[in-house]
Chain A
Amino acid sequence: MTYKPKVRRDELTIREVGQELVLYDARHQCAHRLNKAAAPILQASDGTRTVDQIALLLSQDLDIKERSELVWMTLQDLSQADLLTAAIIPPGNSDRTRRNLLHKAAMIGLALPVVESVIAQSAKAHASDPKGHWDHSDHRRWHDRHDWNDRHDH
């Protein structure tokens, strides 16, 4: 397969935090965290490498087919988060392969790639959160600011 995944670069800020990556996606206003297993896959997805070539960069604890599946799993997560330049269609039987892979990883104590996301909370969202505590004060100011932006954007 000659597909060469490429991570979207526009409206995306990437910060290394230890061995992990934290991304801020301004397009969708959310932050993502990639653990140390997922981080090298994203870093290698620059449009110059095939999935198998990226797989060669991963842990030697798995055979090359399993490593390729690991890359596909991560790419699926990245695609769902709209972090790739183009959406992907993974190869067939991915669910079954994924289950086998999860089982094997658990057996050998291998960290699986994790992509965790949170939506950037505005003051408005904090206010509407039942556990938020600012009631209406920050909510109103958020409204004011965004109303202002709306008025001045057009």
Chain B
Amino acid sequence: MSSIIVANGPLLAPFSIAFECYGTRVGVSTNEATILDSLPAHLPVKSKLIDASDLENKFTLLTNEVARSQEGTDTYSLYDGECLVLSTGDLAVALKQLSRELDAVVALEASPWVFVHAGVVGWQAGAIVIPGRSMTGKTSLVAALVKAGATYYSDEYAVFDRQGYVHAFPKPLHFRTGQRGEPEKISAEQLGGRIGTTALPVTLLVSTCYEAQARWRPELIEPGQAVLRLFDNTVDALRRPEGAIEIFARAVSGCVAISGPRPSSEQVAPLLLALCDRIHHDTSAEGSKLQGGLDLDSLSLSTPNEWRSP
């Protein structure tokens, strides 16, 4: 990946790059050539550098915008358009915030894709989608699924296209460790997994959250409920609500959706993969989608303790 230097850019921040990710075009400028070189590593996954100046979204990272601090150390100011986001003496903090800002703007502005807060893995040519906000245990469940052999798509966003297929947004998994929840990033490869590259139809939608004392007794939910769960976790549902519902309706048209609190990820992950196997097996045996054709008894979901991973 090579950087694009705009020599005749604004006086304050003459060095800039532009990228496109899921249809969103963003520019990042700085007044330090050395910072410019480090920017590509902080762009959203699947970004492509582009040569463009007419950008709707512009970020600027300035060094010593006014003057050095009294201690004589450098200061860094991050702007979203003309709005100051952050001022810090730590370049790593500024770059980390920039990375979050760029992910956020892509998730908000992406078109025609719809971003949903969800964990996603691939299994047997289908996706397992786990919608939910942060702190509901998405990352740990995704990690357990990847360790169990699933393909990693995302621990943060399910990216839906117009047909309702899910695309990867494979940032490193973002764990919170320790009592204060310090962030720790781990790649799918470190977990022994691999990253998905193709768009997948949704096989299984799992609406769940971790509860220490929970027993795994999920219930089947109706397709309309599944649409509502996705809609409730859409990054900005007010932006294109009707379009999002249309996409979600397509996405759930061929999937099984379940809901319920869960115990540890390690206990549940193999059961979810076994359930997907069963869905695939039954679907191919019947030669048709199972939408609305499954009941709890046929899946033995009401007696989860009898389940054993294959």
Contact = CB atoms under 8 A, between A and B. Distances in A.
Interface of A: 13, 15-22, 24, 26, 29, 31, 33-36, 116, 118, 120-123, 126, 129-134, 136-138, 140-142, 144
Contacts of B104: 134, 137-138, 141
Given A17-B223, A17-B249, A144-B81, A120 B237 contact: yes
Contact of A35 (B83, B101, B222): B222
4 closest A-B pairs by CB: A20-B224, A133-B134, A131-B133, A120-B237
Given A22-B249, A31-B241, A140-B83, A122 B236 contact: yes
Contacts of A15: 245-246, 249
Given A19-B292, A116-B228, A13 B235 contact: no
A21 B238 contact: no
19 contacts: A13-B242, A17-B252, A18-B223, A18-B253, A26-B241, A33-B222, A33-B224, A34-B224, A118-B232, A121-B234, A121-B236, A126-B235, A126-B236, A132-B134, A138-B235, A138-B236, A140-B80, A140-B83, A144-B80
Contacts of A34: 224
B46 interface: no
Given A134-B104, A141-B108, A144-B81, A120 B231 contact: yes
B117 interface: yes
Contact of A138 (B108, B136, B249): B108
Contacts of A140: 80, 83, 85
Nearest to B249: A17
B227 interface: yes
Given A31-B237, A138-B104, 8 more contacts: A118-B231, A120-B241, A121-B233, A130-B135, A131-B136, A133-B117, A133-B134, A138-B108
B141 to A, nearest CB: 15
B105 interface: yes
B113 to A, nearest CB: 16
A122 B237 CA distance: 6
Interface of B: 80-81, 83, 85, 100-101, 104-105, 107-108, 117, 133-136, 222-225, 227-228, 231-238, 241-242, 245-246, 249, 252-253, 291-292
B83 A24 contact: no
From B135, B224, B237, B291, name the one whose CB has the most chain A CB atoms within 10 angstroms: B224
A42 B292 CA distance: 21
Contact of A31 (B80, B231, B235): B231
Contact of A33 (B81, B228, B235, B238): B228
A129 B117 CA distance: 13
A22 B224 contact: yes
B309 to A, nearest CB: 29
From A26, A138, A142, name the one whose CB has the most chain B CB atoms within 10 angstroms: A138
A18 B291 contact: yes
A11 to B, nearest CB: 11
A123 B117 contact: no
A20 B223 contact: yes
B249 A144 contact: no
Given A122-B238, A123-B108, A144 B83 contact: yes
Contacts of A21: 224
Contacts of B108: 123, 138, 141
B231 A126 contact: no
A10 to B, nearest CB: 14
B85 A121 contact: no
A33 B252 CA distance: 14
Given A20-B224, A118-B231, A131 B134 contact: yes
Contacts of B232: 118, 121
A66 to B, nearest CB: 23
Nearest to A129: B133
A138 B107 CA distance: 9
Contacts of A130: 135
Contact of B228 (A31, A126, A133, A142): A31
Nearest to B233: A121
